Amino acid sequence: MKVALTIAGSDSGGGAGIQADLKTFHQFGVFGTSVVTAVTAQNTVGVLAWQALPAELVTRQIDALADDLPPAAVKSGMLGSAELVETVAAGIARRRLPSYVLDPVMVATSGDRLLDRDAEQLIGRRLVPLARLVTPNLEEAAILTGREVRTPADMERAGRALLELGAQAALVKGGHLPGNDVVDVLMSDGMVRRFSRPRLDTTSTHGTGCTLSAAITAGLAHGRPLERSVEDALDFVQRAIAAAPGLGHGHGPLNHFVPAPPRPPTDGW
């Protein structure tokens, strides 16, 4: 069985963070492990409080897993502080963790900030060059590249800028653009692909970015090509939103129990 690792914050509401990641890993047939970077007190309405964990404890978690349960792919989400950005970058490089998917979480779906401002540019300098894939939304792409991102053409330019910063590939997510369709742009090695799907009329969007990056990570852990992993993940998220259980009074969670794409027969189970 393949192992996938999430390095992210804990969401007490269960819709995002490591809770969403581990549920997604399970649906994709990989064994999920986690490095907790922060603990949040949140629900579907908003984030009431959060606290980053000590850097030494984050390092010890990374080492514990690398020593005994080495991942085939890894993702990071909420890191919270500049110190933890440095800590995670050092851990990924030192332990040579493979197929790293960087979800540069900065703001929650509710609008609450989940990253200190002094850490934003540090992500571009320290984590982007380590990434197999970076998955920013429009706001995150604008912060990382220092340019406005308001159209699909802007998304392509932002993707190129992220590749210039050292990422192997970039998936710029267009869910916040107006229109009847949602457009995401994948760029890698001179390849540009736009994914388009109908926009769903729902407020159940809490944890979509976490779920998407976790699903891509699971695909990479299985050894699937990046483009297929992205396509499978986008399909999974679309169906998870469509089947959302309608929980809470704000931005509700997805349904992480919709079927994922079939596992490859080489997995042997």
Residue with the two structure tokens 């890698």: 188
Phi first, then psi: what are they for 167, rounded to 5°?
-65, 145
Q: How far apart are CA 100 and CA 128, in angstroms?
A: 10
DSSP state of 206: B
pLDDT reported for residue 112: 75
Three-state DSSP state, 232: helix
pLDDT reported for residue 268: 38
How many CB atoms are located within 10 Å of the residue 201 CB?
Answer: 5
pLDDT reported for residue 269: 35
DSSP state of 126: I
Residue type, 14: G
Q: Are 205 and 44 in contact (CB under 8 A)?
A: no
54, with CB counted inside 10 A (0-12, 13-18, 19+), is: exposed
Q: Which of 91, 209, 219, 252 is catalytic?
A: 209
Q: Which of 14, 210, 211, 217 is catalytic?
A: 210
Supply the CATH classification number for the domain 3-267. Answer: 3.40.1190.20
Rounded to the nearest 10°, the torsion over CA 139, 105, 4, 165 is 60
Q: Which of 208, 211, 217, 252 is catalytic?
A: 208
Q: Which of 207, 217, 219, 252 is catalytic?
A: 207
pLDDT reported for residue 264: 56
Q: Which of 17, 173, 174, 252 is catalytic?
A: 173
| 205 is known as an active-site residue | yes
- From first CA to last CA, the distance across the chain in angstroms is 8
Of 183, 231, 236, 266, which is closest to residue 1 (Cα–Cα)? 266
Per-residue pLDDT of the chain (269 residues; tens, 9 = 90+): 999 999 999 999 999 999 999 999 999 999 999 999 999 999 999 999 999 999 999 999 999 999 999 999 999 999 999 999 999 999 999 999 999 999 999 877 777 777 877 899 899 999 999 999 999 999 999 999 999 999 999 999 999 999 999 999 999 999 989 889 999 999 998 899 999 999 999 999 999 999 999 999 999 999 999 999 999 999 999 999 999 999 999 999 999 999 998 765 444 33
Phi first, then psi: what are they for 90, rounded to 5°?
-65, -40
- What are 253's two structure tokens? 């969670």
| 173 is known as an active-site residue | yes
Of 112, 104, 85, 62, which is closest to residue 209 (Cα–Cα)? 104
Residue type, 263: R
